[in-house]
Structure 1
Amino acid sequence: MEAWVRFSAQSQARERLLRAAQYACALAGAALSRSGNGSEGSSGTLSRLQHLEAHLSLGRKLLRLGGSAEALGVAQRSLHLPDPVLRFCLTLSHLNRALFLACDNVLWAGKTGILPGLATDKWSQRSFRYYLFALVVNLSRDAYEIRVLLEHAEAARKRGKSPENRPQLQADGRIQRLWLHLQLQLQLLLQVLRDNPPLLLDLLRNACDLVIPLEKLGLCRSSPGIVGFCGLTSSVLSILTILHPWLKLKP
């Protein structure tokens, strides 16, 4: 109970819960559209799900008001990271997130009538472009972290094996050598991800989130069910990192 009180007291946690509910509605609506027979009951249920999804989206936008200023503050702190690659990736990611949230705030004002006549489609596309840029940079950061850990794992493997116990890469021809090398790299990759749950969760979350702006910008066509499933999955992973802070990738 105490953990739930701490969780619900955070605005980010409430926003993640609304996000999970929003994409759960999208997933349920896609399933209903696919299996429904066009009856009045199923059409009414689908309409209610779509209205609930829209209200949840608007509620999330309200909770994110002022988030762009927070993202700018995090970007400023990222400038002091010692690793130049992490410094570049995290600063650029937070700057794009700040721009994404600023556009999202403008969209909220337009949809609530504060800014009547706002070109919501244009602002929505602009928002999703910044969101896409932030996710691409986040995935680049994940790839960099994986590369560094792979290098450390490879060095540790070489130190732990004598030359006569190492896999023989020279005896079976070029194709076999390449195949064995790929097997070894895959084993190291799985080991690295298994030993680093925060990195694995961050990679999965960013990969799932990537589907959403790609679909909204028309860069990759997928079904509403896939978008709903990816959004729900990434939301659940985000909630896990809030409930268990050690699962959050640092810095």
Structure 2
Amino acid sequence: MEAWVRFSAQSQARERLLRAAQYACTLAGAALSRAGNGSGGSSGGSSGTLSRLQQLEAHLSLGRKLLRLGGSAEALGAAQRSLHLPDPVLRFCLTLAHLNRALFLACDNVLWAGKSGVLPGLALEKWSQRSFRYYLFALVVNLSRDAYEIRLLLERAEAARKRGKSPQNSPRPQAEGRIQHLRLQLQLQLQLLLQVLRENPPLLLDLLRNACDLVIPLEKLGLCRSSPGIVGFCGLTSSVLSIITILHPWLKLKP
């Protein structure tokens, strides 16, 4: 109960809940639309339900934008703090990701002003595309950071494996071909990768969350065609993973 009280007191947590509800509406709407098409046409009841789901999804999206007002300043502060990281690769990736997140949130604030009527003449589509471009670049940089973290952990696991391996004095049999040797190496790398991800839940959750989120801007920008059901599922999954990291801070990837 105490964890839930701390969770509900955070604006980011409330935004994540709204996000989960928004993409749950997207997923439910896609399922309802598919069921209606499969039955040879939507009935009046299902059509009305779908319309209400779409309206609820739009309201939830607008509410999320309201909760994210001022988020650009927070992202800029995070970018400034990441400039002091000792690792140059992490410093570059995190600073760039935070800067792009700040730009994404700034565009999102402008979109809120346009949709709420504060800026009635705003070109919503142009600002939406601009926002998703910044969002996409931030996700690509975050995934690059995840790949860098995985590479470091793989190198450490490989070094530990070699230290614990007994020395082999006998030469390798000549019957072992290059293809078989390559296959064994790939199997070993895959085992090490699974071991690294299993032993580092924060990295695994961050990788899954970024990978799920990547589908959304790719779809919105027309770079990858997918169904609303896939977008809803990926958005809901990433939202649930974000909620888990807020409820259990030790699962958040640091720095």
TM-score normalised to structure 1 length: 0.96
Kindly state the Cα deviation for residue 134 of structure 1 after the two structures are TM-superposed: 0.1
Q: Distance in 1 between matches of 2:6 and 2:94?
A: 27
Kindly state the Cα deviation for residue 2 of structure 1 after the two structures are TM-superposed: 1.6
Question: What secondary structure is seen at the aligned counterpart in 1 of 2:37?
Answer: coil
Distance 1:239 1:229, change over 3 A: same
1:75, 1:95 within 8 Å by CA — same for their partners in 2? yes
Percent identical across equivalent pairs? 91
Of residues 171-180 and 78-87 in structure 1, the stretch that sits farther from structure 2 once superposed is 171-180
Kindly state the Cα deviation for residue 163 of structure 1 after the two structures are TM-superposed: 2.3
Write the deviation string for residues 7-55 of structure 1: whole angstroms up to 9, x where unpaired.
1000000000000000000000000000115999966000000000000
Distance 1:158 1:206, change over 3 A: same
Q: Distance in 1 between matches of 2:173 and 2:207?
A: 31
Distance 1:113 1:150, change over 3 A: same
Question: What secondary structure is seen at the aligned counterpart in 2 of 1:42?
Answer: coil
Kindly state the Cα deviation for residue 118 of structure 1 after the two structures are TM-superposed: 0.2
1:169, 1:180 within 8 Å by CA — same for their partners in 2? no
Of residues 139-148 and 155-164 in structure 1, the stretch that sits farther from structure 2 once superposed is 155-164
29, 48, 55: which one pairs with 1:51?
55
Residue in structure 1 matched with residue 93 of structure 2 by the alignment: 89
Kindly state the Cα deviation for residue 164 of structure 1 after the two structures are TM-superposed: 2.7
Of residues 142-151 and 167-176 in structure 1, the stretch that sits farther from structure 2 once superposed is 167-176
1:204, 1:234 within 8 Å by CA — same for their partners in 2? yes
Q: Distance in 1 between matches of 2:173 and 2:106?
A: 54
Q: Distance in 1 between matches of 2:242 and 2:183?
A: 36
Q: Distance in 2 between matches of 1:67 and 1:230?
A: 23
Kindly state the Cα deviation for residue 176 of structure 1 after the two structures are TM-superposed: 0.2
Residue in structure 1 matched with residue 12 of structure 2 by the alignment: 12
Question: What secondary structure is seen at the aligned counterpart in 2 of 1:118?
Answer: coil
Distance 1:61 1:212, change over 3 A: same
Distance 1:20 1:42, change over 3 A: farther
Write the deviation string for residues 125-162 of structure 1: whole angstroms up to 9, x where unpaired.
00000000000000000000000000000000000011
- In the alignment, does 2:189 pair up with 1:185? yes
Would you say how many aligned residue pairs link Structure 1 and Structure 2?
251
1:7, 1:243 within 8 Å by CA — same for their partners in 2? yes
Kindly state the Cα deviation for residue 4 of structure 1 after the two structures are TM-superposed: 1.1
1:99, 1:130 within 8 Å by CA — same for their partners in 2? yes
1:169, 1:177 within 8 Å by CA — same for their partners in 2? no
TM-score normalised to structure 2 length: 0.95
Distance 1:101 1:165, change over 3 A: farther
Distance 1:170 1:182, change over 3 A: farther
Distance 1:169 1:183, change over 3 A: farther
1:193, 1:199 within 8 Å by CA — same for their partners in 2? yes
Residue in structure 1 matched with residue 163 of structure 2 by the alignment: 159
Write the deviation string for residues 148-196 of structure 1: whole angstroms up to 9, x where unpaired.
0000000000000112399969651011011000000000000000000
Of residues 59-68 and 171-180 in structure 1, the stretch that sits farther from structure 2 once superposed is 171-180
Any gaps of 5 or more consecutive residues in structure 1? none
